[in-house]
Amino acid sequence: MQPFELITVSSIPDAVKAQAASSTAQQGAPVRFIAGGTNLVDYMKINVETPRQLIDINGLPLAGIESTPDGGLKIGALARNSDVAHHELVKERYPVLSQALLSGASTQLRNMATTAGNLLQKTRCVYYRDTAYGCNKRQPGSGCSAIGGHNRMLALLGTSDKCIASNPSDQNVALMALDATIHVTGIKGDRAVPIDKFFLLPGQTPERETVLEPGDLITHVTLPPVPSGAKSLYLKLRDRASYEFALASAAIVLKQSGGRVESVQVALGGIGAVPWRSHEAERALTGKVVSAVNFRAAAEAALHGARPQSQNGFKVELAKRCLAHALAQAAAQA
């Protein structure tokens, strides 16, 4: 691991100022906020991340979880994944988020991992994690070793000729289905970014993963209320039953009435370059009769644009079955 300086901050403006000043003052090794450290330190140990300074934000008052006046929820950036997953309001109003969080990592990791850290966790692509190989996301212009290489776990949707890495987070899939908003404080003030505008597709610049700018601190995430009577759930398929990232997953918020789908929100994990919202599946299903045939049609629509690589073609069918099964499970809860 490279040597680094660790500083602590005790106010949000100090955190923003410290990051913005350090990021613009010198070129070279970056400056990073550190929250739970379960992703950042992991990558520092293998020299994928080589910050010259870490800004410890754990002293900031950003760990709260509270109801909003509209019946939604505000989740602090430093709320630990375990605390969110086991919170009564989350279990009651957003089971999809609780289930997604509990399907990830291990108890020990979830006790440290934070909402914002999870949002920004890096891909598990083996070439991103190995500095001996070219990776456009880690080192722009060095090529994508995953194309034609080990790509079994990687993305089918949203990829480019520069990068086929998948977003590994479970939490982010649930937040995508729930229409979360990411609240950010930066040097120019506060802003609220809808989650579908937060992540950037790799395109020609895979190193840029979100709309965050130097100095930007995520302060909290808000969730709108789900439609009254809607059921939500998360289904994750993986190589082993725990402590493993998704091959394919689905987050569903479904409301039915009179045997038909009144509204549905669908997001997919494990198969997208970013957490993948499928408006195609939603359009295919809204207003339709609740049936296995229509769930399968929605799954076909969701994967219509899939571009499998040399080793991950099996995930096309897996993701379709995952989505159709998740829809059936959500419908059965009604």
Per CB under 6 A, the segment of 65-73, 111-119, 148-156, 255-263 that binds ligand FAD is: 111-119
Q: Is 182 in the site for ligand FAD (CB under 6 A)?
A: no
H or E stretch at 75? strand 73-76
In the bound complex, which residue of the shown chain has the CB atom lying closest to ligand FAD?
Answer: 117
Residues 232-271 close enough to bind ligand FAD by CB under 6 A: 245
CB 85 within 8 A of CB 98: yes
Nearer to ligand FAD, 100 or 301 (CB): 100
Q: Is 32 in the site for ligand FAD (CB under 6 A)?
A: yes
Tell me the C-alpha distance between 223 and 251, whole Å.
15
Q: Which residues pair with 114 in a beta bridge?
A: 80
Nearer to ligand FAD, 105 or 274 (CB): 105
Angle between helices 292-302 and 314-332 (to 10 degrees): 140
Q: Please give the structure tokens belonging to residue 242.
A: 């725990």
Nearer to ligand FAD, 116 or 326 (CB): 116
CB of 105 to ligand FAD, least distance (A): 4
Burial of 218 (0-12, 13-18, 19+ CB in 10 A): buried
Q: Is 105 in the site for ligand FAD (CB under 6 A)?
A: yes
CB 210 within 8 A of CB 228: no
CB of 321 to ligand FAD, least distance (A): 20
- By CB under 6 A, name the one of 116, 153, 155, 302 that touches ligand FAD: 116
- By CB under 6 A, name the one of 23, 99, 160, 171 that touches ligand FAD: 171
Q: Please give the structure tokens belonging to residue 310.
A: 């040399």
Q: Is 218 in the site for ligand FAD (CB under 6 A)?
A: yes
CB of 197 to ligand FAD, least distance (A): 16
H or E stretch at 110? helix 107-112
Q: What is the largest CA-CA distance in the chain?
A: 63
CB of 110 to ligand FAD, least distance (A): 7
Tell me the C-alpha distance between 209 and 180, whole Å.
18
Binding site for ligand FAD (CB under 6 A): 32-40, 42, 57, 77, 104-105, 109, 112-114, 116-118, 120-121, 168-171, 217-218, 245
